[in-house]
Structure formats: structure tokens, C-alpha cells
């Protein structure tokens, strides 16, 4: 059952302290994940071979697709768990976590098998050509064929552990894996080590995810009887309310990430037509841009259990205070990062590769990417709130608008008007449009909460 300390955190701890205790470990964990992703790019970039860096960039959409499974079972089950805890329904908490774990295990294996069997078609879809195909294949062998299951399971377990307020424990596992990855990267990639290039980066990532998964299994053993998270086969249930409760939030969140993969694939294919240097620069800038994005994402994910719990217990005032406080904090951080990326674009790109053409491309790209930062806080928190309170339909609509209606058409349009250099500005315009939509939607949501204050509790 949820401990008294966890109830104190969700129900009575001052908002700034509660948000900090939940979000800071998640932000740090997210940043470490970005850093280790950037370390992959950094050490591969030391080889000064754009083809190697381009291979890592081409494979990125496949790794991003992991999040489709992560969100289906991680976001879906953790949202239902937090809401059930708010209603003190701990049977639902256990069944939701078991369903999330075994669902992620099954689909992780399925993902790896499909990507391996249909590898040639996948490479074509990603934009690989005769120059980059072999290197991209060797990277995917480690990260997907061998690495999909541990990569997916450790993220899903972190979501579930975080849902009961144990953000620090969830982040320790994630960060531990990232540290292992950073230690192994130079050993596996560089000539003085195993000299495997991009394949070495993939091998390091695979082993790191296995280490993180071992930590989470150890955590479950140590905390047996003290945690509401349950991965026992006996707790697994296909009970209708469990399946629908998880999928109602998880499927829209999963589709949202699949659309992110589509957007990333379109971006890479458009950039690839301008050569390996342009593609490598786009990959580098995308990863630099991930730092502030993951800060905003870490804040929204960290505060989700607090929003879910107080929504289910009908403490809407506390829920709204937590949401608005988190948006303010996120906005300050993202504005600062936007200025840094704009004025130091060339220096930041140059940290990862010394090829002058790649650096020149990257400097221009990064100035376009950074313009999206100021509006990410509102957009991420809006979608995160919908996921936290079980409003999967609204989350799905926002995903469709962001990618299908705005960003992907803008990529094609801007590339036609401003070849190559228009691509980075598509995200900024799309996020601005989404922010203009998010504000009235959130206002209506708060009004609806006030109208529901007298309704019976629901999990």
C-alpha cells in the first residue's frame, strides 16, 4: 500500500517542494539520458567521418519509436496507477502495473523481431543509401535486435515506480544505465579501444540498458511488500477495466510518439538529400535541441503523479497550483536555453565534430531549432496533464495537430521555399500554433474541473 510519506507528498507537502521532489530527479535522469545520447554522437564524431555520424542520426527514429511502446504501457499504466492511488484503490494499482510490465515485454520482443526481419525495407524508409546502409545496420543490430527489450522495459518500470512518488529511485536506475553507457562509449567506439565506430555506440547502449533493467529488478526484490508496483504474473489481468484504463491513455500517447518518429523520418530524409554533412549536422543539432526539450519533458513527467493523484481525489485547487507552478519553472529554463543556443550555435555544433561543412550547417540549423523553446513548456504540460487525468482523446488530438496538421506539412513547405535551411524552423512555427490552441483548451479544462467537484470519486 502507499505509505504515509507518499500520501503526505501528494496531499499536504507545499507545491514547490512537492514539484521539486518529484521533478528534479526526473529532469536529472532525462538530462543524463540526453547527455549519453550526445556522448554517442561526440565519440562517433571524434572519428571525423560524417558517414558514421550520419548512421547514428538515421537510426534515431527507430530508437524514438521505442517510446511508442514505452508510452503505451508506461504512461498508460502509471497514469491509471496514480489515479487509483488517489482513490485508495490499491488492487487496481497492482493489476495496472502488472499489465503494463508484461505488455511492454511482449511488444518489446515483437518490435525487435519485426525490425530485424524487415531490415532492408526499414533502411530504405529511414533514408539510408549505399554509403550509410552498412554502418546503420551494425548500429541497429545492437540497439534494436538485441537491445529493444531491455531499453523498453527499464523505461516502463521507471514510469511505474515514479507513479507512486518514488522519482529518485526511478531516476537512479535510469541514470545508472546512462553512466555505464558513457563509460563504455569511448572503449567501444574509438581506435584505441574496440574500434567499432557507430556499432560500438550501439553495443554500449545495449549493455547500459541491461544494467538499468537489472537495477529495477533488484529494486522490486528489495522493496517487496513496500511498493504498490507489482510485476508478479499472478497479478497480470486482462480484465476489461484494466485494459481499457491503461489503453485509454497509453494508445494516444503511443500514437503521439509514432507521429514523432514519422516527423523525424521526414526531416532526416529531406536533410539526407543534401549529403552526409548536412544529415550529420541535422543529427547533431537534433540532439543538442533535445537538452531543453527533455528538461521540459522531465518537468511534465515528474509532476504527472501529483496531478493524477489530486485530480482523482478532487483536490483541483492543488492540481491547478502544481500545474501552473511547473509551467512557470519550465518557461524560465527554456528561455535561458533558447538564448544560449542562438548565440552559441557554432560553438555548440563544433563540440561534436570538426568537419567545417558540418559545423557550418549545424550553426544555421541550431538557430532555427532554438526558436521553438519558449513555447514548449505550455505544450508539454498541456499534453502531460491530459495524460495524467486520463483524457487520452484530447492528448491524441493534440498529437495529430502538432505533427500531421502543422509540423510535417511545414517541413515540406519550408524546404521547398528555403531549401534545407527552412527545415529547422518548422518545429518553432508548429509549437507556436499549438500554444495558441493549448491556452483556451486548458481554461476549459479548469472550468470543467470546478463543475465536477461534487461528482463521486472515480479511479
DSSP string, 274-285: T-HHHHHHHHHH
Report H helices in 313-424: 316-343, 345-350, 356-369, 373-388, 392-399, 408-417
Checking if the pLDDT of 25 tops 60, the result is yes
pLDDT at 112: 92
Q: Scan for cell 493524477, then name that residue.
A: 308
pLDDT digits over 437-456, tens only? 888 888 888 888 877 765 55
pLDDT digits over 205-234, tens only? 899 999 999 999 998 888 887 788 888 888
DSSP symbol at 456: P
pLDDT at 191: 83
Checking if the pLDDT of 146 tops 70, the result is yes
Q: Across the chain, what does the average pLDDT equal? A: 83
Residue of 341, 338, 328 lying closest to 378 (CA atoms): 328
Q: How confident is the model at residue 133 (pLDDT cuts 50, 70, 90)?
A: confident
Q: How confident is the model at residue 36 (pLDDT cuts 50, 70, 90)?
A: low
Q: How confident is the model at residue 29 (pLDDT cuts 50, 70, 90)?
A: low
pLDDT at 207: 93
Residue with the larger pLDDT of the pair 46 and 216:
216
Percentage of residues of the chain with pLDDT beyond 70? 95
Q: Scan for cell 517487496, then name that residue.
A: 224
Rounded Cα distance between 414 and 372, Å, is 15
Q: How many Å is the Cα radius of gyration of the chain? A: 21
Rounded Cα distance between 265 and 388, Å, is 28
Q: 314-323, long-range: CB within 8 Å, 24+ apart, which pairs? A: 314/452, 314/453, 314/455, 314/457, 315/11, 316/446, 316/449, 316/450, 316/453, 318/11, 318/15, 319/449, 320/446, 320/449, 321/15, 322/15, 322/18, 322/19, 323/381, 323/385
pLDDT at 457: 47
Residue with the larger pLDDT of the pair 1 and 180:
180
Are 322 and 385 in contact by the 8 Å Cβ rule? The answer is: no
pLDDT digits over 69-96, tens only? 887 888 888 888 888 887 778 888 888 9
Residue of 325, 453, 444, 311 lying closest to 381 (CA atoms): 325
pLDDT at 454: 57
Checking if the pLDDT of 34 tops 80, the result is no
Query: pTM for the complete prediction?
Result: 0.72
- Domain spans of the chain, in order of start: 28-234, 256-454
Report H helices in 70-118: 76-86, 90-117
Q: State mean pLDDT over 52-61.
A: 80
Are 101 and 234 in contact by the 8 Å Cβ rule? The answer is: no
pLDDT at 33: 64
Residue of 283, 272, 278, 288 lying closest to 132 (CA atoms): 272
Strand runs labelled E in 136-233: none
Checking if the pLDDT of 3 tops 60, the result is no
Rounded Cα distance between 451 and 439, Å, is 19
The counts of H helices and E strands in the chain are 19, 0
pLDDT at 397: 85
pLDDT at 459: 41
pLDDT digits over 399-422, tens only? 788 888 898 999 999 999 999 898
pLDDT at 114: 93
Q: Scan for cell 563509460, then name that residue.
A: 183
356-384: b (≥16 Cβ within 10 Å) or e? eebbebbbbbbbbbbbbbbbbbbbbbbbb
pLDDT at 414: 92
Q: State mean pLDDT over 248-273.
A: 79
pLDDT at 4: 56
Checking if the pLDDT of 110 tops 90, the result is yes
pLDDT at 203: 92
Residue of 244, 248, 305, 309 lying closest to 87 (CA atoms): 309
Checking if the pLDDT of 106 tops 90, the result is yes
Distances (CA, A) of 453 to 140, 146, 181, 192: 50, 49, 48, 65
Are 144 and 62 in contact by the 8 Å Cβ rule? The answer is: yes
Checking if the pLDDT of 334 tops 80, the result is yes
pLDDT at 458: 47
Rounded Cα distance between 144 and 323, Å, is 36
pLDDT at 102: 93
Q: State mean pLDDT over 374-401.
A: 81
Report H helices in 167-315: 167-189, 198-222, 240-272, 276-312
pLDDT at 103: 92
pLDDT digits over 276-332, tens only? 788 888 888 887 888 888 788 778 877 888 888 888 888 888 888 888 898 888 888
pLDDT at 2: 42
pLDDT at 395: 77
Amino acid at each position: 500500500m502507499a505509505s504515509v510519506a507518499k500520501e503526505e507528498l501528494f496531499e499536504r507537502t507545499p507545491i514547490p517542494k512537492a514539484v521539486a521532489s518529484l521533478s528534479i530527479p526526473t529532469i536529472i535522469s532525462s538530462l543524463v539520458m540526453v547527455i549519453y545520447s550526445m556522448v554517442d554522437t561526440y565519440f562517433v564524431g571524434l572519428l571525423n567521418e560524417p558517414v558514421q555520424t550520419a548512421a547514428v542520426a538515421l537510426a534515431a527514429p527507430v530508437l524514438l519509436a521505442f517510446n511508442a511502446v514505452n508510452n503505451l504501457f508506461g504512461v498508460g499504466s502509471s497514469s491509471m496507477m496514480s489515479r487509483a492511488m488517489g482513490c485508495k484503490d490499491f488492487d487496481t494499482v497492482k493489476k495496472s502495473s502488472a499489465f503494463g510490465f508484461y505488455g511492454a515485454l511482449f511488444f518489446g520482443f515483437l518490435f525487435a523481431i519485426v525490425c530485424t526481419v524487415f531490415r532492408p525495407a526499414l533502411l530504405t524508409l529511414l533514408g539510408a543509401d549505399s554509403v550509410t546502409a552498412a554502418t546503420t545496420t551494425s548500429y541497429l543490430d545492437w540497439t534494436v535486435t538485441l537491445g529493444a527489450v531491455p531499453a523498453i522495459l527499464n523505461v516502463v518500470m521507471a514510469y511505474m515506480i515514479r507513479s507512486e512518488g518514488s522519482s529518485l529511485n526511478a531516476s537512479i536506475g535510469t541514470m545508472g544505465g546512462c553512466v555505464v553507457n558513457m563509460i563504455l562509449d569511448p572503449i567501444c567506439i574509438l581506435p584505441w579501444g574496440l574500434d567499432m565506430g557507430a556499432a560500438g555506440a550501439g553495443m554500449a547502449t545495449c549493455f547500459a540498458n541491461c544494467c538499468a533493467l537489472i537495477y529495477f529488478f533488484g529494486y522490486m526484490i528489495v522493496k517487496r511488500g513496500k511498493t504498490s508496483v507489482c510485476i508478479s504474473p499472478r497479478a497480470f489481468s486482462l480484465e476489461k477495466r484494466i485494459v481499457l484504463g491503461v489503453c485509454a491513455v497509453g494508445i494516444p500517447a503511443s500514437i503521439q510518439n509514432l507521429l514523432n518518429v514519422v516527423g523525424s523520418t521526414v526531416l532526416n530524409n529531406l536533410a539526407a538529400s543534401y549529403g552526409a554533412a548536412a544529415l550529420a549536422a541535422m543529427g547533431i543539432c537534433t540532439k543538442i535541441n533535445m537538452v531543453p526539450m527533455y528538461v521540459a519533458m522531465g518537468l511534465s513527467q515528474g509532476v504527472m503523479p501529483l496531478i493524477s493523484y489530486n485530480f482523482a481525489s478532487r483536490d483541483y485547487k492543488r492540481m491547478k497550483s502544481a500545474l501552473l507552478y511547473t509551467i512557470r519553472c519550465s518557461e524560465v529554463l527554456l528561455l535561458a536555453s533558447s538564448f544560449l543556443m542562438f548565440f552559441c550555435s557554432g560553438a555548440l555544433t563544433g563540440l561534436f565534430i570538426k568537419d567545417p561543412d558540418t559545423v557550418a550547417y549545424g550553426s544555421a540549423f541550431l538557430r532555427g531549432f532554438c526558436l521553438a523553446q519558449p513555447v514548449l513548456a505550455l505544450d508539454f504540460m498541456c499534453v502531460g496533464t491530459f495524460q495524467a487525468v486520463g483524457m487520452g482523446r484530447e492528448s491524441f488530438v493534440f498529437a495529430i495537430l502538432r505533427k500531421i496538421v502543422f509540423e510535417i506539412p511545414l517541413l515540406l513547405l519550408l524546404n521547398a521555399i528555403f531549401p534545407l535551411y527552412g527545415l529547422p524552423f518548422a518545429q518553432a512555427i508548429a509549437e507556436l500554433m499549438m500554444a495558441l490552441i493549448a491556452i483556451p483548451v486548458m481554461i476549459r479544462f479548469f472550468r470543467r474541473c470546478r463543475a465536477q467537484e461534487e461528482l463521486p470519486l472515480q479511479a
